[in-house]
Structure 1
Amino acid sequence: MTESSRSAQVIELLAAYDEQLRGGSEGGSVPTSLDGPVIRVEYPSRGFVSYRSVEGLDGAELDALIARQRDFFAAKGQAVEWKLRGHDLPADLPERLRAAGFVPEEQETVLVAESADIVERLRGREHVDGVSIRRTEEPADFERIAAMESTVWNDDWSWLADELGRHQASGLADIYVAEVDGQVVSAAWAVYRKETEFTGLWGGSTLAEWRGRGIYKALVAVRAARALELGYKYLHVDASDDSSPILQRLGFVAITTTTPWVFTPAR
Structure 2
Amino acid sequence: MTDLDATTLRDAYDRQLRPDVPNPVPDGVTVERDGPLTRIVGLDHRGFLTYRDLGGLTGDELDALIVRQRELFRARGEAVEWKLFGHDQPADLADRLRAAGFVPEDPETVVVGAIAPLAAAVPVLPDGVRLREVADRADLDRIAAMLTEVSGADRSHLADGLAREIAADPQSVTVVLAEAGETVVAAGWVRYVPDTGFATFWGGSTRPQWRRRGVYRALVTHRARLAAQRDRTLAQVDALPTSRPILERLGFVPVTTTTPYVYTP
CA distance in 2, matches of 1:181, 1:95: 49
The equivalent of 1:131 in structure 2 is: 129
- Residue 164 of structure 1 deviates from its aligned partner by 2.0
Alignment partner for residue 9 of structure 1, among 5, 19, 37? Answer: 5
> What do you get for the CA RMSD once the two structures are aligned?
1.7
In 1, are the aligned partners of 2:186 and 2:204 still within 8 Å (CA)?
A: yes
Paired position in structure 1 for 2:200: 200
Residue of structure 1 equivalent to 2:186: 186
Partner in structure 2 of residue 147 of structure 1: 145
Percent identity for Structure 1 against Structure 2: 49
Secondary structure of the structure 2 residue equivalent to 1:257 = strand
Following the alignment from structure 1 to structure 2, what is the Cα–Cα distance between the partners of residues 210 and 140?
Answer: 22
Shift of 1:103: 0.8
Separation in 2, partners of 1:210, 1:134: 17
- The answer for the alignment partner of 1:159 in structure 2 is 157
Rounded to whole Å, the distance in 2 between the matches of 1:213 and 1:37 is 44
Q: Tell me, which stretches of 5 or more residues in structure 1 are unaligned?
A: none
Helix, strand or coil at the partner of 1:195: coil
Separation in structure 2 between the aligned mates of residue 216 and residue 191 of structure 1, nearest angstrom? 17
Cα pair 1:81 1:261 within 8 Å, conserved = yes
Partner of 1:20: 16
Q: Which has the higher helix share?
A: 1
Instruction: Name the structure 1 match of 2:36.
Output: 37
Q: Which secondary structure state, in structure 2, belongs to the residue aligned with residue 57 of structure 1? A: coil
| Amino acid paired to 1:37 | P
State the SS of the aligned residue for 1:167.
Answer: helix
Query: What is the rounded CA distance, in whole Å, between the counterparts of 1:176 and 1:61 in structure 2?
Result: 44
Aligned residues: 257
SS at match of 1:124: coil
For 2:151, the aligned partner's letter is W
3-state SS of the aligned residue for 1:26? coil
**1:101-112 to 2 correspondences below 5 Å:** 101-112=101-112
In 1, distance between residues paired with 2:177 and 2:106?
Answer: 26
> Per-residue deviation at 1:27?
3.6
Amino acid at match of 1:112: V
Alpha-carbon contact 1:126-1:219 (below 8 Å) kept: no
On the 8 A contact 1:173/1:189 being kept in 2, the answer is yes
Rounded to whole Å, the distance in 2 between the matches of 1:112 and 1:156 is 28
Q: What is the deviation of 1:94?
A: 0.7
Q: Is the 8 A contact 1:102 1:263 kept in 2?
A: yes
Report how far residue 102 of structure 1 moved. 0.7
CA deviation after TM superposition for structure 1 residue 176, in Å = 0.6
**Deviation of the 1:58 alpha carbon:** 3.1
Offset at residue 160 of structure 1 (A): 2.1
2:234 counterpart letter in structure 1 = Y
Runs of 4+ in 1 over 6 A off after TM superposition: none
2:119·2:221 contact (CA, 8 Å) conserved in 1? yes
* 1:1-267 → structure 2 map (5 Å cutoff): 9-23=5-19, 25-28=20-23, 29=25, 30-42=29-41, 43-120=43-120, 123-169=121-167, 170-171=169-170, 172-265=172-265
Give the superposition deviation at 1:55: 4.7
* TM-score normalized with structure 1 length: 0.91
DSSP-derived class of the 1:34 partner: strand
